[in-house]
Chain A
Amino acid sequence: DTGVSQNPRHKITKRGQNVTFRCDPISEHNRLYWYRQTLGQGPEFLTYFQNEAQLEKSRLLSDRFSAERPKGSFSTLEIQRTEQGDSAMYLCASSQGTGTLYGYTFGSGTRLTVV
């Protein structure tokens, strides 16, 4: 098991384009979380899945953002009609259960730059 994997590591896109990121969690983890981290700030929660069900979405997740986790395995985060304000590091984390007992494992993130 190589931990949580995120692809791509970096993405540069023009404003108005759509982008999709992928996260492969630790295989036995049933929960998967997406966070966004801007420069000089801590990560902010976006959404999470328990298996294939998306159970909570932050108000940060505008209608241009959509996340899926088909079959409860990998997850994708899509941003439509990107804006410069979307430039950030997008982090994925997974856990078995709530993570309060065993912690969460984070991926290295996808850095998005919108030009």
Chain B
Amino acid sequence: GDSVTQMEGPVTLSEEAFLTINCTYTATGYPSLFWYVQYPGEGLQLLLKATKADDKGSNKGFEATYRKETTSFHLEKGSVQVSDSAVYFCALSEVYAGGTSYGKLTFGQGTILTVHP
């Protein structure tokens, strides 16, 4: 079955540090890949996505590139801020040959990011 594995956390950084959160996946079809963020007390918010190999998703200074050869979708940001402190989830949605997708998301376990001033 489909699965997503994220690097173990928590991750603690100083402001303006470089961030990488690793994500690898296993899927039988051609998944779309997502990063969601969950701020304290709030719901999951879509951060960025990529729907095919070599696509780069980007938003709010965060980037992730869909690497089919390494089945990875690592999240990066060049300079983190205190306001980036949150839980980050990597997820996939399976898309099968012919474009059929059931739409359900398979999530990783989440990575807690804490950024100190």
Contacts and interface: CB of A to CB of B under 8 A. Distances in A.
A101 B110 CA distance: 23
A95 interface: yes
Counting from the closest, the 8 A-B pairs by CB-CB distance are A42-B107, A98-B103, A106-B44, A98-B101, A108-B43, A100-B32, A103-B46, A106-B43
Contacts of B104: 33, 45, 48, 56
13 contacts: A41-B110, A42-B89, A44-B107, A45-B106, A95-B103, A98-B93, A98-B95, A100-B95, A103-B34, A103-B49, A106-B44, A106-B45, A109-B43
Interface size class of B (residues with CB under 8 A): 20 to 34
Interface of A: 4, 31, 33, 35, 40-45, 48, 55-56, 91, 93, 95, 97-101, 103-109
Contacts, number: 68
Interface string B33-75: 0101000011111100101000000000000000000000000
Contacts of A105: 46
Contacts of B51: 100-101
A32 B32 CA distance: 18
